[in-house]
Amino acid sequence: MSTAPARRSVVTAGIAALVGFAIAAGLGAWQLQRLAWKESVIARIEARAHGEPQRIDQVEQQILRGEDVEYARVGVFGHFDHAGELRLYTPSGAEGPGWQLVTPFYATNGDVFYVNRGYVPETKLAEASHPEGDVTVTGLLRPYDRHGAFTPDNDSAANSWFWYEFDAMQRKLLETWQRRDALVLFPYVIEADAAPQGYPAGGATRLVIPNDHLQYALTWFGLALTLAGVYLVWARQQLRQS
């Protein structure tokens, strides 16, 4: 290969390699920005989840302002309606398959909630507690209508539930609704804190929030360096052969 064509091919390939390097390095830098954003989000969520319980009226004001209240820790006072209890299937609980008991809760301020009281193994449903009278419930707020593509449909008639389906759960609650005023279901489920012992075992919420942005950033930076290294080796060989 003559010197001029070799140099032209090296320059042309160099421009392409430089563009590829810039794209890969830029994506790596963008992932570092996403990493910083995700870490701040996780920090805010953990602060909400592990802080002192908020009053529900405070949370309602936050919702009206458009603020994110998922994982907010709240405390409510009122009573359960165990007649309207729903069973949310749990295939892999601590003692095998079982159910999370999701129970209507009527707060003394008039708000209506579903409270996920926790997990009960299939073989120990009869041992589940059903507290009567006014009680205080503390737990984390979780949104309705979040499910995977392969999550089964809920079966309201059989009381077999697989995800929090707002419309269906509200219709179920209407079956036992005895108030004169209209039912207004609070737009978040309360997942109750863990109780000292017995069933249901609360603390269903697991704060495992994926954060793979550092891995993605390193991958893109690695690709950029690999591209640069391959180009430099190839270019050196081309120029030597010319």
Residue 50 counted as domain residue: no
Report CA torsion sign: 49, 54, 60, 66: negative
Residue with the two structure tokens 């060989």: 237
Residue 125 counted as domain residue: yes
Residue 51 counted as domain residue: no
Residue with the two structure tokens 């009567």: 132
pLDDT in tens, the chain (242 residues): 456 776 788 888 889 999 999 999 999 999 999 999 988 888 888 888 788 898 988 998 998 998 888 889 999 999 999 989 999 998 887 778 899 999 999 999 888 999 999 899 988 888 888 889 999 999 999 989 878 888 899 999 999 999 999 999 998 888 877 766 677 888 999 999 887 677 888 877 777 788 899 999 999 999 999 999 998 998 888 878 76
State the Cα–Cα distance between residues 137 and 128, nearest whole angstrom. Answer: 17
Counting the structural domains of the chain, the total is: 2
Among 139, 167, 143, 174, CA closest to 153: 167
SS3 annotation, 92-159: EEECEEEEEEEEEEEECCCCEEEEEEEEEEHHHHHHCCCCCCCEEEEEEEEECCCCCCCCCCCECCCC
Copy the structure tokens of residue 3: 């010197």
Shared domain for 110 and 142, answered yes or no, is yes
Among 102, 89, 112, CA closest to 174: 112
Copy the structure tokens of residue 19: 């563009």
Kind of pairing, strands 112-121 and 86-93? unpaired
42 by DSSP, 3-state: which? helix
Residue 61 counted as domain residue: no
Residue 134 counted as domain residue: yes
Shared domain for 226 and 179, answered yes or no, is no
Range of the domain at 140: 72-192
Question: Residue 209: what pLDDT?
Answer: 80
Tell me: the pLDDT tens digits for 57-90? 899 899 899 888 888 999 999 999 998 999 999 8
Shared domain for 87 and 188, answered yes or no, is yes
State the Cα–Cα distance between residues 171 and 187, nearest whole angstrom. Answer: 14
Is the model's pTM score more than 0.85? no
> How long is the chain?
242
Residue with the two structure tokens 């270019």: 235
State the Cα–Cα distance between residues 192 and 169, nearest whole angstrom. Answer: 18
C-alpha atoms less than 13 angstroms from C-alpha of 18 in its C-beta half-sphere: 7
Question: Residue 220: what pLDDT?
Answer: 96
Among 101, 112, 100, 95, CA closest to 181: 112
Listed in sequence order, the residues at least 6 apart from 242 whose beta carbon sits closer than 8 Å to its beta carbon are 1, 2, 3, 5, 6, 7
**CA dist 98 → 22, 79, 87, 169, 196 (Å):** 52, 24, 9, 20, 19
Question: Residue 129: what pLDDT?
Answer: 87
State the Cα–Cα distance between residues 216 and 201, nearest whole angstrom. Answer: 37
Shared domain for 182 and 220, answered yes or no, is no
Residue 55 counted as domain residue: no
Residue 236 counted as domain residue: yes
